[in-house]
A and B are shown apart, each in its own frame.
Chain A
Amino acid sequence: EAQVTQNPRYLITVTGKKLTVTCSQNMNHEYMSWYRQDPGLGLRQIYYSMNVEVTDKGDVPEGYKVSRKEKRNFPLILESPSPNQTSLYFCASSLAVASTDTQYFGPGTRLTVL
C-alpha cells in the first residue's frame, strides 16, 4: 500500500531533550516536506527536500533540523525542544519537483513539550 508513515504518533517530552520524528514513504517520491499545524494558523512548512541531500527552509525552520540521506526517509530533528514547539506535525511527499502531483500526507505526530 502506497503510504507515508511517521513515528512516533504521539510524544510527550521535556524541554531540551533531543528527539527525532521519522518519516518514510514507499512511493519513490522525490519531494518530501515537514509541516506543523497549530490552531488558527493552518499548516506551516518547516523544511522541504527536493531530492536526496537537497533540503531547504520553509517558513518556520527555527529550532528544527532535517536530513535526507535516502530517498524514502526524511527525519525531523528537534535538538533542544521548547514548549512553543508543541504542535501537530505532518510529513508529506510528492512525486517530483515541478510536478503536477499533489502531496500525500502522513498520519501526523502530536508532540507535547513540557
Chain B
Amino acid sequence: ELKVEQNPLFLSMQEGKNYTIYCNYSTTSDRLYWYRQDPGKSLESLFVLLSNGAVKQEGRLMASLDTKARLSTLHITAAVHDLSATYFCAVDPGGSGTYKYIFGTGTRLKVLA
C-alpha cells in the first residue's frame, strides 16, 4: 500500500525557533509537493521538488528531497505567527504512469508569540 507519512502531526513552537517537518513516502517517486492550508481555507502550493537533492527556499521555509531515502523535509527558520497553518506533503507515484496523488495526513503548526 502506498503511504505518505508526516511527522509530527501537531507542532507548537515559539516564535523565533527553528523546526523541521518530515515527510516519508513508501513508493518510488521523483516528484514531491508541499502545500499550506490555513484554517477554513483551501490549499496553496508552496514547493515542487522534482529530483533527488532538490532544495527550494521561500522566506523562512526551505524544502528538500532525498529520493533514495524517500524523505522530504520542510524546515522552518525563525518561526513567526503567520506561519501557523497545516502543511501537507504529497507524492505523485506514477511519474509517467498513473498520475494519482497521495497526500500525507498533514502537520498542524501553531507558532506562539
Contacts and interface: CB of A to CB of B under 8 A. Distances in A.
A56 interface: yes
Contacts of A50: 99
Interface stretch (B42-50, B63-71, B75-83): B42-50
Interface string A94-114: 000110111111111000000
B25 interface: no
A48 B94 CA distance: 13
Nearest to B96: A98
A104 B35 CA distance: 10
Interface residues of B, number: 24
A45 B105 contact: no
Contacts of B43: 43, 90, 92, 103, 105
Contact of A108 (B42, B50, B99): B42
B42 A90 contact: yes
Contacts of A40: 105
Nearest to B98: A56
Contacts of A106: 42
A45 B88 contact: no
Contacts of A103: 33, 43, 45, 101
A29 B105 CA distance: 26
Interface string B85-105: 000101000011011111111
Given A102-B45, A105-B42, A105-B43, A31 B99 contact: yes
Interface of A: 31, 33, 35, 40-45, 48, 50, 56, 58-59, 90, 92, 97-98, 100-108
